[in-house]
Structure formats: C-alpha cells, structure tokens
Structure 1
Amino acid sequence: MQNVYLDPNSYVHLQNVLFERSDRYNTNNCREPVIFLSEYCSKRGINLQTIDFWDREKASAQDIYVSFDHKFFLRKWYWRKRNPQYPRVDLAKFKKRILFHFEPPTVMAEIRYIAKSAMRAYDKAFFTWKIPGTNAQYFHTPQAHEGLFFEYWQNENRAFLTLINSNRSSLSRYKELLTERVRAILFFGKTHDIDLYGFGWDARPLFPYWFSGDAIRKTYKGSVEDKYKTLSQYTFAFAVENCELPGYITDKVFDCFYAGTIPLYLGAPDIEEYIPKDCFIDMRDFRNYEELRKFLKQLSQEEIKTYKENGRRFLESEHYKPFTKEHFARLFVEACQDA
C-alpha cells in the first residue's frame, strides 16, 4: 500500500476531516471531489491521509507528499497557531512532492509573487490557471456534481436576476473581479432587477464602494442553504470569477447549468476553449450594464430556453468530462504513480 499524505487547503480539514461528508464545512457537497478521490485511491492501492498522520519517526522513503495550495511560511506559522496538530514537515523525507494549487492571487495574494519559486519545491506542480514560461501544468477545478438537478432545472416560475457570492476582500487587486460584482449589484439594484445572496454583505463593501452599503443592502436577501434551489428561482445569474486569469474556471458557471439558470459570465478570457459560447452570456460582449440589461430584457422565451438546453447538452458532452471528479482523481493518481 502506497502512503500519500495530503496537506489540505485549510487547517480545519486535518484529522482526515477533509474526507468526511457529515462535517459542517461540506456545504452543498463541496467536498465530493476529495471524498471520491479518497475512495478512488483506496481501490488502487493508495492510502490517502491528511498530513497530520505523517510520523517523522515511522516515515518510509516511499511516502508521497501532496499539497492542496502552496503554503508560504507565514501561512504555515499562522496555521500552527490556529491548530497545533498542523505538523512541521521535512519535504526531503518524501519520495515525491506534488502541488495542486487551486486558489488564485485574489485569495492567496502571495502566490502571484512566489509561484515560480514555489514550483522548485515540488517534483510536479499543477495550477488552476495557466502560467506561461514555467513548467506548471494546468488542471481544472473538479466539480462536485455529474449533471443537472432536474427538479430545479425544470422550474419555469423564475424571477429575473440574482447574484450568489460572499462579500470577499483581497490583499491583491491583480486581475481581480470582486469590485465588478459590486458594480453589477449597484446598477441592477437601481433598476430593482437583482436579488443578492451570500455571506458578509451586511459589512462594509470593498473600496472604492465603502459608502454604497445602504444601496447594496436593499438588494440583499440573506445567505442560502441550498444554492442550487435558490439559483433555480431565477432566469439569469451573475457568474463572475474572483479574478480574470487564463483557464481559471470555477463552479460559478457550472452551478447555473445544474439549476437551469443562464450564467452571465466574466472571468477566464479563454472560456470559449472549454465551454461553448452558446451556453452562457459573455459580459465582455457589452459596453456597459445598460446594454446588458437591454439585451436580457429583449430575449424571447424561446431564446432563453435555447441557452438553457445548450447548458444541459454541455453537461452531457465530452467537453464537461475534464471538469469532473473522475478526471481529477485519475490525474492525481497518475501524478503519484509516475516514475
């Protein structure tokens, strides 16, 4: 049995909590790709555990270290303060060191500056966006679900427009789109067209919108327990990524497809290489929000139905497979088993 030790993307996932369905952090089954990965590895002779199970004294020279996101030394120090179970690890003790980096600079600001140097610490490094001029390999963020939720998808009694996102802040403004969400909320709030959901919107908005809190709160409907059910109550939803990086495509656009909602997408500039344009509305096609609103209001029911059907066909096609948990599990195992 090959031992693989996974350094998770948060200290709350230690003690193999990362692989538990019942844990409170498994909202909307977001852990399904890693739970599936654990089961997939087990069937192939790989014992996958979180890094706190690694024992320096009992370690084997055949052990493999895999990190979900690269941890800058200050981040490691902070994690140990929050959770003493997070261990000090000697990477030289491992046969192989592999990185799967998920979070972009808007979430982990330091990665913009240390990505190239970080890669040297690993035998293989995979990122969810493309980094030209490096040996970094590109992979898609694995999605938790195989296809649409038909009960939600078929709902025809829908309001106009929603945005479901937390009110994030960031130390890095590099290619960020967090403020674009605020601009969208403010514009469609004035026309009374949008309902806003998510955590943190009762707090002060991002600079330069510090004084727009009252306008934002007028559109705010609270947090959601089931984002797919909430999405299914709207015809359109903003699917705006945290940042604009080549290849960086997350669950935001897929969540809309699952619920039969048409995504208004802004994010990866090369989105059409992976998702056909007839599945979503590209916000870059409009000079301003007034143009976008006019376009949305003029769409016929037949045109709306076509977008919705195109999203369903995409989920059922070969083009969706690179985004699945099965694809990610195969990539993970191949990275561990390659000589």
Structure 2
Amino acid sequence: MNFAVIPWSKNELNDYIFYSIDDRGEKVPTPTAAYLMQEEFKRLGHVIHTVDLFNDLMKVDFFLFYVLDWDWVKKITELGLEKRMVYCNAEPPTVSECNTPNGYETLKRYFAYILTWNPDWIDNRRIFLRNIPYFFDFQPSLISFEERKLITAISANKRSKWKDELYTERENSYRYFEEHYPDEFDFYGVGWENTNHPCYKGKIKDKKQIFHNYRFAICFENTRMDKNYITEKIWDCLNSQIVPIYAGAKNVKEYIPEDCFIDFYQFKSYDELADYLIHMSKEQYEKYLYSAKKLLENKKVVYLFSGEKYAQDILNAVSHRTEFSMHFYDKIYVRIYPVYLKLVSELKNFVKKLLKKA
C-alpha cells in the first residue's frame, strides 16, 4: 500500500521528516522514530513518503495527517478520497482540544480513521490506539555525582486554558527553585527570553549534553491525568542519565517503574521535594540511574514506544473497514473553511502592517 504523510510543516516535505541533508548536500537518514517507522513500512512491503512526492494522489491508499491541514482535507475530499484520510495528530488537549473525546466526535465527520494515545477513548471501529514514538539513544554521562549541579529543566514557555494543563505548575516549580536555590538551578528553552526568570540560561541545541551536568530534571508533561501520554520529556531524561521529577500520565508506572524516576505527586510541598533531592545520597542516586539503564535494555518496553510499533499501529487501524461517509454539508464546509482561514490570516497580516506604519 502507498501512504502519504501530511507533515507538521512545509520544511518536512520532500521526505525531510525522515531524512536530512549532510555537509555534502546529500540526503541521509535521520536518527529518529519517524525514520524507523518508514523502515518498518518498507520491511512489510509498503511505500511511505510525504504527500508532495506522489505525482498521482489517486494511487495513495491512505493519507496520514500529522497536523489538521484543512487545505489538504479540501484537496483530498474534492478528489473523492475522503475515506482514505487518517488523523494521526498526537498533541495533548492543552495544545489542541480536537484531541479529546468531544473533539474526536467532530473529527469523525471528516476522517475515516482517528489515532489516539489514550486507551479510554478508542472504540476500535473509527478510533484506534497508537503510541507516541521515541528514538532511543542512550548517552551515558561521564560527569560525577559530586560535579553535577542539583537541578535543571528544559521546556518551551506555553500557556493553555485546558483544565489539566501543567504549564502553570511547571513555571511554579521554576519560581520556587529560583527563589530558594538559585545557585543550584538553571533552566533552558524557547519563549522565556522576555520573562522575569533570573535562572533562565537561554536556548540549547543538545538537550542530553545539558542534562549530563545536573542530577535532577523537572519533567512535567504538557497535561496530567491522560493515560499513555508519555512523551520524549521523560525518555530524554532516562536516556541522558539524569533523574526526572515527573508529573503527567497517571498510568506512567505501567511502563516506567517508580525506581526510575521521582514522582512529583508524592510530595506535599516543594520544600519537601527539595529536602528529598538535597539529602539524597550518591548510592541512592545511582540506584535510580541503574534502574533506568535496565529499563532501556528491556526490548519489550523499547518496542512499545518505537517507530516500528507506530507503523504497526497505523497498519492495524487501516486494516479495519469503516462505514465512513462524509455528509454533503460537511463537504461544503470543507470547501469553504480553508478559504475562510486564508482570509483571516491575510487580514491579520494586513492589520499588523498598518500598526507598524502607525
């Protein structure tokens, strides 16, 4: 079968979601879960590329929407291929409220298949379970326990009105350690440049090299309570030999044993958490690192969060025949809505230009 990916951005077209350009200007595989997913498709006799590499869209068996791109929804629907559309976006509700049970009910009007990480939301008829794939690349640290600073964090500065968002708690933790342990705390990421955070140290290129210099990392997902929403945030820590202080998926311990991380929710206050961190012995700390290393050697766990497993999840979903048929009025909406979005965008840009001249 032929699979076409509608990627996150135009920069990922031409298969750059799977490859990059080396110093010689040649296309080379990237060490990512996406590349391993593509390799699994190939191994099973399928073809998968970004959508721009298919000259004849009629020959595409399924379109994988990594983002809700209404222009492509319109184009595919106008070709009469709406039964081939698969919604694969894995953002949490804090980023996209489409990714909720109510949001999926709306999306079912436009997509034949929907993939979700949350097992409570699937019906195995139109909505199917998927993993959140990760590329496992263990990088041991050569920096000793004594040489490491106490704690760090790496995150983007985000906001959300979603009831279970963790952005607010994440920033609360930063402010606590800035106020009480400014010499033992640094944090990094994008979007914090113009904020009042004295321990902010800027943007970074290599997350793992930063992690090697600290004992602990504040590791809060974007949302709490959702089952299976286990992302690169905790895996990056475990692969970099830093102990994560984790808040997020309520069933995380089904996959990651509690001796691999520190459960933020077990502490009644930040004072109690800080006291636990400061007084942890080297021996106890190294037990965390040892447990994490053993977990990463568990092939079963690694497979569950791999690009190969994601390929299998997609193939499982599309192997089911659905009775999907887009309603006449929904087809009209699909034709009009992208035009509306374009007009709104152009209007915003026009207003910005006027304000600059004023």
AA in 2 matched with 1:76: W
1:52·1:87 contact (CA, 8 Å) conserved in 2?
Answer: no
> Are 2:267 and 1:280 aligned?
no
Relative to structure 1, is the Cα distance of residues 300 and 314 closer, same or farther in structure 2, using a 3 angstrom cutoff?
same
Q: Which residue of 2 is the match for residue 148 of structure 1? A: 138
SS in 2 for 1:189: helix
Q: Does the alignment pair 1:119 with 2:108?
A: yes
Change in Cα spacing, 1:155 to 1:320, as seen in structure 2 (3 Å) is farther
Q: Which amino acid aligns with 1:323?
A: F
Tell me which amino acid in the other structure corresponds to 1:108: S
Q: What code does the residue aligned with 2:244 have?
A: P
1:327 to 302, 309, 313: 309
Over residues 130-155 of structure 1, what are the superposed CA-to-partner deviations in whole Å (9 max), with x where a residue is unaligned?
A: 4447443332211112x4213x2665
Q: Give the Cα separation in 2 of the matches to 1:31 and 1:166.
A: 23
Correspondent of 2:85 among 75, 80, 97: 97
- 1:186 correspondence with 2:175: yes
* 1:1-339 to 2 correspondences below 5 Å: 2-22=1-21, 32-54=32-54, 59-60=58-59, 63-69=61-67, 71=68, 76=70, 88-90=75-77, 92-93=80-81, 96-112=84-100, 113-132=102-121, 134-135=123-124, 136-145=127-136, 147-150=137-140, 152=141, 155-156=144-145, 157-170=147-160, 172-191=161-180, 192=182, 193-203=184-194, 213-214=195-196, 216=197, 218-244=198-224, 245-317=226-298, 318-336=300-318
Task: State the distance in 2 between where 1:110 and 1:102 align.
Answer: 10
Deviation at 1:270, TM superposition (A): 1.3
Deviation of 1:30 after TM superposition, in Å, equals 8.1
Residue of structure 1 in register with 2:349 after alignment:
none
Q: Deviations over 1:290-318 (max 9, x none)?
A: 11001111211111010111111111113
Q: Hey, what's the Cα distance between the residues in 2 that align with 1:110 and 1:125?
A: 11
Given that 1:129 and 1:247 are in contact with CA atoms closer than 8 Å, whether structure 2 keeps it comes out as yes
Separation in 2, partners of 1:36, 1:51? 18
Shift of 1:3: 1.6
Contact 1:247 1:268 in 2 (8 A): yes
Using the size of structure 2 for normalisation, the TM-score is: 0.77
Gaps of 5+ in 1: 24-28, 81-85, 204-212
Paired with 1:162 and 1:63, the residues of 2 have a C-alpha distance of 46
Aligned partners of 2:94 and 2:222 also within 8 Å: yes
Residue identity (%): 26
Q: Flag the structure with larger Rg.
A: 2
Supply the distance in 2 between the matched residues of 1:155 and 1:337 (Cα, whole angstroms).
50
CA RMSD of aligned residues (A): 2.7
Does the 8 Å CA contact 2:152/2:216 hold for their aligned counterparts? yes
SS in 2 for 1:276: coil
CA distance in 2, matches of 1:30, 1:227: 17
Task: Give the whole-Å Cα distance in 2 for the aligned partners of 1:110 and 1:326.
Answer: 26
Distance 1:153 1:174, change over 3 A: farther
Q: Distance in 1 between matches of 2:80 and 2:271?
A: 57
CA deviation map 1:170-202 (0-9, x unaligned)? 3x3231001111100000001213101111111
CA distance in structure 2 between the aligned counterparts of 1:15 and 1:221, rounded to whole angstroms: 35
Instruction: Give the secondary structure class of the aligned counterpart of 2:171.
Output: helix
* Aligned residues of 2:116 and 2:122 also touching (Cα < 8 A): no
Within 2, Cα distance between the matches of 1:120 and 1:274? 34
Task: State whether residues 155 and 232 of structure 1, in contact with CA within 8 Å, keep that contact through their aligned partners in structure 2.
Answer: no
Q: Which amino acid aligns with 1:185?
A: Y
Runs of 4+ in 1 over 6 A off after TM superposition: none
Alpha-carbon distance in structure 2 between the residues aligned to 1:13 and 1:126:
21
TM-score, length-normalised on structure 1?
Answer: 0.81
Number of equivalenced pairs: 307
Q: Distance in 1 between matches of 2:54 and 2:76?
A: 8
**Residues 155 and 48 of structure 1: is their aligned pair in 2 closer, same or farther, counting only changes over 3 Å?**
farther
